[in-house]
A and B are shown apart, each in its own frame.
Chain A
Amino acid sequence: MDSKTKSMNVLVFNCGSSSLKYRLIKMPDETELSGGEAQRIGPQTSEPSRIIHREAGREETIYAEMKDHGAAFEEILKIMKKNNNKVDVIGHRVVHGAGIFRSHTMIDAEAIKNLKMTEGIAPLHNPPAVRLIEACHKLYPEIPQAAVFDTVFHSTIPWQAKTYALPKWIRRKFGIRKYGFHGTSHKYVAGEAAKYLKKPLDKLNAISCHLGSGGASLCAIINGKSADNTMGYSPLPGLVMSTRSGDIDPALVLQMAIASDGNFNAMEKLLNKESGVLGMSGVSPDIRDIFRTAGKNGATDERLSLTLQVYLWRLKKALGSYLAVTGVPDAVIFTDTIGETVPGVRQEACAGMEAFGIKIDMEKNRNVKKLPADISAPDSETYVLVIATNEELEIARTAAELAA
């Protein structure tokens, strides 16, 4: 953080389809003042809408009607006011910048107009965030807002890594290319790895493995910049994820579409919500559950075992692919829920990778207690690091820089 940045409180929003996570971060100290999550936003469900708010080591639940994200935002600001927490800047996580936003941006009427144009390219992810930004801008125009895009970090991916071999007119008409995702997380952990290794970020070569309990992607980083990402035009391809298929033969998708009478909406749902770990295992979308139960479940054992094997195999192959791009890197970084907490995944991903200069210390890997942690063996040429991601902090940093 630039020491010249003036002191300000940044309220960071991470918008889900029916939830709104928030954190208030004091900059440039980077201390978290409060945080929480508004849950069950939208039409009434079996349980009431509520906000779980955390501050000063305490947690409270506030029940309030929240018909949309704008209403949730108003309730959160009420809590901030009640607790005397001043909000100077708002930072929004926006998943997809499409081809329109090549850098993060402050929000004004023009930006909102452009943000609406991104909804078509990311219909599952962007609309709630855009609605929220619009509501914030209308209700509190005096609070500066910044949109921070997951895709911006990947704007450095070169042509050969981002181009699909499709007809030019289709690529142009629909802006089809690899955009990459989880950029905020990949950027954050790359910065933390550079600090840990005492190396300038612009000299860092690394593979960042963002393995979440939901989505997951790998990023090849050369000289601190994204060189490739396993996700693509959408967050669907690449690794096996909790409910997303990852890579799949395009002809299979078409065959399934024929079998479902050309219903592409059903295909989208199937590939995004009913595939991956859940679809393969038939039991759970969480690979941690599969790790725990594979080999202990009798009849379903074979299916669980195969799920685990495919999950780990794809991860290993993707890691190998990116190591061919970076050469022996400074670091391989594991982050997010699965990357930070499941030693078995790290062990399998790094097993037999000596040809790339990678060797982990089994004992260190099993006993990671405090992050960041180095789990590489003494004779490993590459550091293998476990780093806690902090996308909200990265968003706060970016928003503060933009607002300053």
Chain B
Amino acid sequence: MKILIIDPGRQALNYYLRSENDLITCGRISNYRDNEENCGAMTELNRRLTYEDEKIYPQAIAIRVPFGGSIFKEPAILSGSVLNKLKNLIPSSPLHLPAIIMLAQDAGTVFPGVPVVFIFETSFFTGLPSRERSYAIDPAAMHGMEIQRLGFHGILHEAACSQINAYVRSHGSVRAPRILSICLDPKPEAAAASGIIPIMTTGGATPLEGLFGDTSCGEIDPGILTKLGQELKWGPEQINKVLTEESGIEGLLGAGVKLIDIFSSKRKDHKLVSGLFLYKLLLACGAAVAAMGTLDYIVFSGRYKDAGKNIGTWLVRKMGFIRKSQEEPQLRYMIFEKQLDEVMYEIAAAKVKEYNNEFAPADIK
């Protein structure tokens, strides 16, 4: 089955056309949101789907959706009711959902009859305990917005934890492994899970909270925001721009350096920043142990997963002091090698298969 995988960002859209074992083609469409007329982005995508001058038609389309609220606990195939549910969530994710809805509708026009699968980053986290999901604010202050901690790299966390779970079970263990899954991406995130049940996450209601990234600030004292608003007379949008685009490693170093690069650099200022990042991960490890009683595996995934070798070695050494019974495995780290598009392919293929089975005529079933 050939599946077109779409990962829409704030400005650019990344796409991957995959078969089960191969990446056939991939690319990027910039400023895709500006081209709304005549199904602009999807038409352009359709034009680009060729291999050795031969036109390729996808059998399914998978779209990554960063926010699905507490409603979407699993992937969903595009339908009228799914679209309505997504539209109702726009107030809680106004930056992402309108563009995704537009893309999905255009996909129906440009690729008629091809099922569109929405895969949500938040589905994994809908299982978080309410004590982890909740913020200590008056619900009435949220002006009707759905406000809860739902993380934002759930697709990779779930896949990485599932792989460790399967590995542990294949080695005869019946106890769910206690895992800290660290997604190393431009906006990184750590999540703790018992087997594949989420327990905690550094991510928040939006991707801004938690670990800092290439350009995002991560967790900061909320008092700083009111200070900036009062002193600089900046509006929320202007502050948001600084926190999401000019902070993180870029803000610390005053230069555009990626997270992956500071871990291979010998520069003193880069080492300071990598030390800061490691410290935040150490705090997350400690919180995970407190939340789950212990920690068995640390797993790295994401675009910058290769930095996991250095980070994993350091974290395992630092956390080596935790007390374990003889039956418990010693703490170790792993790298989850699959990239997001591969994982999305597997999820979409399974969903389409399930959908086809469900809607196939009874005699064929």
**Known: A265-B230, A320-B287. Is A280-B137 also a contact (CB below 8 A)?**
yes
Whether A252 sits at the interface, judged by CB under 8 Å, is: yes
B323 to chain A, nearest CB (A): 5
Whether A234 sits at the interface, judged by CB under 8 Å, is: yes
Bound Cα distance A267, B288 (Å):
31
B130 to chain A, nearest CB (A): 6
Contact with B along A341-359 (1 / 0, CB 8 A): 0000000000011111100
Q: Is there an interface contact between A233 and B221, defined as CB atoms closer than 8 Å?
A: yes
Residue of A nearest to B147 (CB): A252
Contact with A along B188-204 (1 / 0, CB 8 A): 00000000000010001
Most buried by A among B134, B135, B145: B135
Q: In the complex, which residues of chain A have a beta carbon less than 8 angstroms from the beta carbon of B252?
A: 163, 165, 168
Bound Cα distance A277, B134 (Å):
12
**Known: A165-B247, A320-B287, A322-B286. Is A240-B136 also a contact (CB below 8 A)?**
yes
Bound Cα distance A249, B289 (Å):
22
Which chain A residues (291-331) contact chain B, with CB distance < 8 Å?
306-307, 309-314, 316-325, 327-328
**Known: A166-B251, A267-B226. Is A317-B290 also a contact (CB below 8 A)?**
yes
Bound Cα distance A307, B290 (Å):
19
Whether A56 sits at the interface, judged by CB under 8 Å, is: no
Bound Cα distance A175, B279 (Å):
22
A275 to chain B, nearest CB (A): 5
Whether A253 sits at the interface, judged by CB under 8 Å, is: yes
The number of residue pairs between A and B whose CB atoms lie closer than 8 Å in the complex comes to 248
Binds B, one of A60-68, A75-83, A256-264: A256-264
Bound Cα distance A264, B232 (Å):
11
Q: In the complex, which residues of chain A have a beta carbon less than 8 angstroms from the beta carbon of B248?
A: 165
Binds A, one of B55-63, B233-241, B357-365: B233-241
A172 to chain B, nearest CB (A): 11
Whether B47 sits at the interface, judged by CB under 8 Å, is: no
B142 to chain A, nearest CB (A): 7
Bound Cα distance A380, B137 (Å):
36
Q: Is there an interface contact between B294 and A324, defined as CB atoms closer than 8 Å?
A: no
Most buried by A among B136, B138, B143, B225: B136
Bound Cα distance A236, B221 (Å):
7
Q: In the complex, which residues of chain A have a beta carbon less than 8 angstroms from the beta carbon of B279?
A: 160-161
Q: Is there an interface contact between A352 and B204, defined as CB atoms closer than 8 Å?
A: no
Bound Cα distance A354, B288 (Å):
14
Residue of B nearest to A311 (CB): B136
Residue of B nearest to A168 (CB): B254
Q: In the complex, which residues of chain A have a beta carbon less than 8 angstroms from the beta carbon of B284?
A: 321
Whether A196 sits at the interface, judged by CB under 8 Å, is: no
Which chain A residues (206-249) contact chain B, with CB distance < 8 Å?
232-237, 240, 245-249
Binds A, one of B2-10, B205-213, B332-340: B205-213
Q: Is there an interface contact between B228 and A170, defined as CB atoms closer than 8 Å?
A: yes
Residue of B nearest to A233 (CB): B221
Contact with A along B312-335 (1 / 0, CB 8 A): 000000110111100000000000
Of the A-B pairs whose beta carbons lie under 8 Å apart in the complex, a sample of 17, sorted by A's number, is A168-B252, A170-B228, A174-B228, A234-B221, A237-B221, A240-B136, A251-B204, A251-B208, A264-B225, A279-B137, A317-B291, A320-B286, A320-B288, A321-B290, A352-B293, A355-B324, A356-B323
Give 7 closest A-B pairs by Cβ, nearest first.
A320-B290, A324-B286, A234-B223, A264-B229, A249-B204, A165-B212, A232-B221
Report B's interface with A, CB cutoff 8 A: 129-132, 134-138, 141-143, 145, 147, 149, 200, 204-206, 208-209, 212, 216-231, 235-237, 239-240, 242-243, 246-252, 254, 272, 275-276, 278-279, 282-291, 293-295, 318-319, 321-324
